[in-house]
Amino acid sequence: MALERIIKPHIRCLEPYQPGKPAEELDRELGIEGSIKLASNENPLGPSPRAIAAIREAAGEVHRYPDGATSALRGRLADRLAVAPEQLVFGCGADELLELLAKVLLGPGDEAVFAWPSFAMYPIVVQGMGATAVTVPLTADLVHDLPGMSAAVTDRTRLVFLCNPNNPTGTSVGADEFDRFVASLPETVVVAVDEAYVDFARRRDFPDSVAWVRRRPGTIVLRTFSKIYGLAGLRIGYGLADLELAQYLQRARHPFNVNRLAEIAALAALDDEEHAERTRRSNAEGVEYLTRELRELGIEVWPTDANFLLARTGPGVHDRLLREGLIVRPLHGFGMPDHARITVGLPEENERLIKTLRRLREADPVSGLEVP
């Protein structure tokens, strides 16, 4: 094939991101109804009713381009975070910010440091620019090895990703270690703190990353409306950076990368603190229930600061659950074939998962659930 000779080698060897299968697709495959997806860390309560109303109201305006500056949302968020509006960069999901960072900072010969297992998009955006991903294994407790990451920084390092709380483990790092780590980085390295799950974090010493943005040029905090705000389908996230970095990212983005409905829904969602609080409460109860019940089944579960749990279900459980109409995220792609990442669902969804696991175990005590 002639194309093979002209496609960039670093693109040829990219492994595409594996999204979770939609529940409707599994329904079709199995010829059943009511499959549920506990695999993509979406908000099980759905979007805020206020966001839905705002989308309806704005639907008749979609023949207009969006406001390319995202001014209304920019102003509102800047107030809320007590930063200058120009420090915010919006994207088509926080994923686009990852890509913009790679585009602005990385090329062949450059290195980006991040932990592994961590968010699956990091290697994709780094390799997508022909740069080198330098991964640092999590500790035995599946927490970031921050001293190890610090030691992995060389004079070729341009970018460090720190996912806190970490996906797919749900573990987090506290303020003291975070502060020491960021302070240890040379000023020629950009640190991107990916806080997609910050709203679910319950540890009291959670790092104040925004304070670091004020203090250290080359620091960016990434947040998203996909998780607690329940707007994953609209694709909107943002980065909060020092002015200089923010301006470079602005130059690299497409002019209309955030769509009209996404901005409107995000504004309405920000105003609905009650929905966010309900989501947090429902998640905390779900975490508690699932942790207790999974442990009861003899399955190891890690403490989580997010809206999902890491569980050592044993290999093959993911496929067995699929046949029962339950989608969880297998982690063999992360070198953890024994583990699954389970998104906390609605109470009835969590109960269905536990009942199904129990039934599989009873039907086949030997291999029904290969408990380690």
Ligand X SMILES: *Cc1c(COP(=O)(O)O)cnc(C)c1O
User: Using CB under 6 A as the criterion, which residues of the chain lie in contact with ligand X when the complex forms?
Assistant: 41, 93-95, 119, 163, 167, 194, 196, 224, 226, 232, 237
| Spatial distance between the Cα atoms of 165 and 181, rounded to a whole number of angstroms | 15
SS3 325: coil
Q: How far is the CB of 95 from ligand X (least distance, A)?
A: 3
Q: How far is the CB of 94 from ligand X (least distance, A)?
A: 4
Q: How far is the CB of 260 from ligand X (least distance, A)?
A: 17
Please say whether the beta carbons of 237 and 227 come within 8 A: no
Instruction: Output 196 or 241, the one with its CB closest to ligand X.
Output: 196
SS3 244: helix
Q: How far is the CB of 327 from ligand X (least distance, A)?
A: 16
Q: Quick one: tokens of 276?
A: 């966010």
Instruction: Output 38 or 94, the one with its CB closest to ligand X.
Output: 94
Instruction: Output 23 or 369, the one with its CB closest to ligand X.
Output: 23
Task: Give me the residue label for tokens 């240890």.
Answer: 184
| Spatial distance between the Cα atoms of 210 and 318, rounded to a whole number of angstroms | 38
Please say whether the beta carbons of 244 and 33 come within 8 A: no
Burial environment of residue 309 by CB neighbours within 10 A (0 to 12, 13 to 18, 19 or more): buried
Which amino acid, one-letter code, is at 309?
A: L
Closest CA to 286 of 354, 357, 224, 338: 354
- Start-to-end CA span in the chain (Å): 46
Q: How far is the CB of 169 from ligand X (least distance, A)?
A: 11
Q: How far is the CB of 317 from ligand X (least distance, A)?
A: 22
| Spatial distance between the Cα atoms of 70 and 74, rounded to a whole number of angstroms | 6
Instruction: Output 119 or 181, the one with its CB closest to ligand X.
Output: 119
Q: How far is the CB of 124 from ligand X (least distance, A)?
A: 12
Task: Give me the residue label for tokens 């130059």.
Answer: 251
Q: Cα 21–161–249 angle (5° rounding)?
A: 95
Instruction: Output 261 or 360, the one with its CB closest to ligand X.
Output: 261
Q: How far is the CB of 33 from ligand X (least distance, A)?
A: 27
Instruction: Output 235 or 361, the one with its CB closest to ligand X.
Output: 235
Instruction: Output 194 or 242, the one with its CB closest to ligand X.
Output: 194
Burial environment of residue 149 by CB neighbours within 10 A (0 to 12, 13 to 18, 19 or more): buried
| Spatial distance between the Cα atoms of 115 and 171, rounded to a whole number of angstroms | 12
Q: How far is the CB of 233 from ligand X (least distance, A)?
A: 9
Instruction: Output 41 or 304, the one with its CB closest to ligand X.
Output: 41
SS3 273: helix
Instruction: Output 181 or 238, the one with its CB closest to ligand X.
Output: 238
| Spatial distance between the Cα atoms of 57 and 50, rounded to a whole number of angstroms | 11
